[in-house]
Amino acid sequence: MKKEFTVPPVIFPSGDTTFVSGGGTLHHRRVPTAPFQPPRPAMSSIPSFLSFDIGPTSFSVPVSVSDEPSLLEELEIDASLIYRKTLSLLNPFRLNPALHDSADLSGSFLYYMSFCLFQMLAGKVQFGVVLGWIVVFSIFLYVVFNMLQGKNGNLDLYRSLSLVGYSLLPVVVFSALSLFIPQGFVVANFILAAVFVMWSTTVCARLLLEGASRGDEHHGLIAYPCFLIYALFSMLVMF
Query: Three-state DSSP class for 191?
Result: helix
- CA 70/CA 215 separation, integer angstroms: 40
Predicted confidence (pLDDT) per residue in 92-103, tens digit: 888 888 888 888
Residue 234 pLDDT > 90: yes
* E strand or H helix that includes residue 132: helix 127-149
Please tell me the predicted confidence (pLDDT) of residue 182: 86
Predicted confidence (pLDDT) per residue in 35-63, tens digit: 555 555 554 444 444 444 455 554 454 54
- Count other Cβ atoms within 10 Å, centred on residue 203: 26
Give the CA radius of gyration of the chain. 39
Q: For all residues of the chain together, what is the average pLDDT?
A: 78
The three-state DSSP-derived secondary structure of 49-90 is HHCCCCCCCCCCCCCCCCCCCCHHHHCCCCHHHHHHHHHHHH
CB 13 within 8 A of CB 42: yes
Let me know if 131 is exposed, middle or buried by CB neighbors in 10 A (0-12, 13-18, 19+).
middle
Q: Domain locations in the chain?
A: 1-30, 78-238
Predicted confidence (pLDDT) per residue in 64-86, tens digit: 555 677 777 777 788 899 999 99
Nearest one of 219, 218, 214, 196 to 92, comparing CA atoms: 196
CB 225 within 8 A of CB 140: yes
Residues 151-179 have a mean pLDDT of 91
Q: What is the rounded (10 degree) CA torsion for 174, 179, 183, 186?
A: -10
- Count other Cβ atoms within 10 Å, centred on residue 229: 25
